[in-house]
Amino acid sequence: MSILTKRYAGFKRHFYRTGPIDFSKELKSYKTLLIHPVMEPGREIFSLPAIESIIAQKGERNVMLLINEKLKFFFKDIPSKKIFYKCFSSPLSSNYKKLKESLKGKEYDIFVELNSFNEDILTMFALIPKSRIRMCVNGSRENPIFNMIITTDKLHNEIERNNVVLKPLGIKRKKKRIDWQKHTATRKEKRKIGIAVYNNKTALRLFSLLKNRNFTPFLFVNERKKVEKMKKKIGDALLPIYPLEKVYEESVSCESIITSINPVFSIGFLQRKRMLLLIERDKNFLPFDGHHIEVLSLSEKSKSLFNKVNDFIEGK
């Protein structure tokens, strides 16, 4: 985070004030919403149930979604209006200015922020729309930009974490499970296992382990610039994570997936794959009922990791 961004966000938070609002009246009479779904790759899809419930009750004409262009694959079929943006880190960046221009002159009764960005980035997003109520999940109560903070329980899974906004909005939950699938002619290949781990050394070790055990490993690479380098080591059994359309088609043929929290995990979840999720030390994820997801912390020793992988591929 640049010093400029910190100063800009801090200045805006210090001087920004909202007038008195009758929340009870506003929440009963509102019509239009601007929603910023979760835009963290690997968690974005878990805001879909909340969004679908809101659209079902308020109507697609009254709901606008703010979507990061890199993740539009997951949202493009949602029946609502959308504004796409590219990542930014500064109020002076061209991407931030384009987003401001896209929202210029537009007003929404409520702005709903579902992301857990740092306070400065949250402030930059919230300053753009004209809204009477600015709602945030687990934000800072000291930030005057947001005048309604919804807190969640630490034991909430990812879907329930986003569903907490439904009650104050007066929305009835549409459904509990995500039922999102693209039609594809690709068939599952026996013993094919996808690998989408951020640590390239770990990914290559897993690839070698599976290859030696007569499985067919396939690598999804996060950084496109690393693709050619890794091809020299393992051949053509790999694909960059973006564009997501190609990843979706390739992962359909996988029996199971070993992954970090990234878009491949989201795709595997939507395809109801059996998955081993490797969690970084500072991350957390609560498993869901009805999905075969095993979670392993990378804080464990390397030997424990590969023992767990062995048990996973053997179905133990």
Q: In the structure, what pLDDT confidence band is assigned to residue 16 with cuts at 50, 70 and 90? A: low
Task: List pLDDT tens digits, range 202-218.
Answer: 899 999 999 999 999 99
DSSP class of residue 280? P
pLDDT (average), residues 168-197: 79
pLDDT of 181 reads: 62
Instruction: Note the pLDDT of residue 280.
Output: 80
Residues sharing a CB contact under 8 Å with residue 215, sequence separation 6 or more, in sequence order:
191, 192, 193, 313
Residue 301 has pLDDT above 90, yes or no: no
Whether pLDDT at 295 is above 80: yes
Closest CA to 144 of 38, 11, 30: 11
Is domain 3-169 classified as CATH 3.30.70.360? no
The answer to whether 3-169 and 192-313 have equal CATH topology is yes
The answer to whether 273 and 256 are in contact (CB under 8 A) is yes
Q: List, in order, residues 6 or more apart from 179 with CB less than 8 Å away.
A: none
pLDDT mean over 165-169: 96
Question: Residues 24-58: pLDDT tens digits?
Answer: 999 999 999 999 999 999 999 999 999 999 999 99
| Pairing, β 81-85 against β 63-68 | parallel
Residue 65 three-state SS: strand
Q: What is the per-residue DSSP string for 127-193?
A: TSSEEEEEEEES--TT-TT-SEEE---TT--HHHHHHTTHHHHTPPP--SS----------PPTTEE
Q: Give domain limits for the chain.
A: 3-169, 192-313
Residue 232 C-alpha from the chain's centroid: 32
Buried-state track 57-78, b at ≥16 Cβ within 10 A, e below 16: bbeeebbbbbbbebbebbbeeb
The C-alpha atoms of residue 95 and residue 89 are separated, in whole angstroms, by 9
For residue 214 the two structure tokens come to 């007569």
pLDDT-based confidence at 186, cuts 50/70/90? Answer: low
pLDDT at residue number 175: 66
Those residues with Cβ within 8 angstroms of residue 16's Cβ, 6 or more apart along the chain or in another chain = 127, 144, 145
What are 111-151's pLDDT values in tens digits?
A: 999 998 888 889 899 989 999 999 999 887 777 789 999 99
Q: 102 pLDDT exceeds 70?
A: yes
**Top-tier CATH class for 192-313:** alpha beta
Residues in CB range of 33: below 8 A, 6 or more apart: 54, 58, 62, 63, 64, 108, 109, 110, 111, 112, 169
Residue 175 amino acid letter: K
* pLDDT averaged over every residue in the chain: 88
Question: What is the predicted pLDDT for the residue at 89?
Answer: 86
List pLDDT tens digits, range 233-285: 899 999 999 999 999 999 999 999 999 999 999 999 999 999 999 988 777 88
- With cut-offs at 50, 70 and 90, classify the pLDDT of residue 11: low
